[in-house]
Amino acid sequence: MTSEYVIFDVQLLETHNKAQVLVYAHLVKKELETKAHLENALTEIYNQYKDTAEFEKFERPTVVGVYLYTSHRLGAQDKAAWIGMLIKGPNDAVPQIRIDELKFKSQTSLENNEGTEDEIELEKLNKLLFERGLELCSFSKRIGEIELACIRKADKKYPDYGAQHQAYVDELQELAMREIYLVHDLTDKMITQVNVFAMTYCK
């Protein structure tokens, strides 16, 4: 299973009453077989981090969260755009798993080239982008270039690649994307759709 996802960010947070681990991963292969497939990946990642012992006052985490995305770009751009998540809090007997039904249905139908609502959504998105002087694949490439430029800036400022590095990447991306949002009158939903559809339709 480990060859089917890549962990791209791990965040640790400790307060006086909480030790938290958040793990972010993306799928390597585009094919999504079943929801059980995603649940197994989430559970496997959870098992890798549930006993993390890098805290000062806690032997292991009191909260573990795992977020799985269909691509690295989507996860880096929008942490809320997960296709599957697992959370285990201090009061949970077992981890709680959630699969985003709409994203799962959308992704699997796109991969199978099914004529579904997703094709209608793609047509709507293309129309909205055209009205704003944008095109799906070139705009997706532009977003990727912005992400890469932000990472390179952070590499120079924080070469240790620690928590400050990721926070600075996020800050730079937010500033860069805020300008694009304003200039082109975009919404979070549109950006998420660009990332999802570009993964299938753009090479």
pLDDT tens-digit map of 47-102: 999 999 888 889 889 899 999 988 887 788 777 778 889 999 888 888 999 887 76
My answer on whether 96 and 176 are in the same domain is: no
8, 72 contact by CB (below 8 A): yes
Token digits of residue 14 = 């400790």
pTM above 0.75, yes or no: no
Tell me if 109 is assigned to some domain.
no
My answer on whether 98 and 144 are in the same domain is: no
| Mean pLDDT in residue range 109-113 | 57
pLDDT band at 185 (very low <50, low <70, confident <90, very high): very high
Mean pLDDT, the chain, rounded, equals 83
Classify 11 in phi/psi space as left (phi over 0), alpha (psi -120 to 50) or beta: beta
Residue 199's nearest CA partner among 55, 131, 103, 90 is 103
My answer on whether 135 and 86 are in the same domain is: no
What local confidence, expressed as pLDDT, does residue 101 receive? 72
Give the domain range for residue 173. Answer: 115-201
My answer on whether 130 and 99 are in the same domain is: no
pLDDT band at 15 (very low <50, low <70, confident <90, very high): confident
Q: Quick one: how far is CA 113 from the chain centroid?
A: 23
Tell me if 181 is assigned to some domain.
yes
Choosing from 84, 104, 124, the residue where a domain stops is 104
Residue 197's nearest CA partner among 95, 129, 101, 98 is 129
My answer on whether 66 and 123 are in the same domain is: no
CATH number for the domain harbouring residue 9? 3.30.300
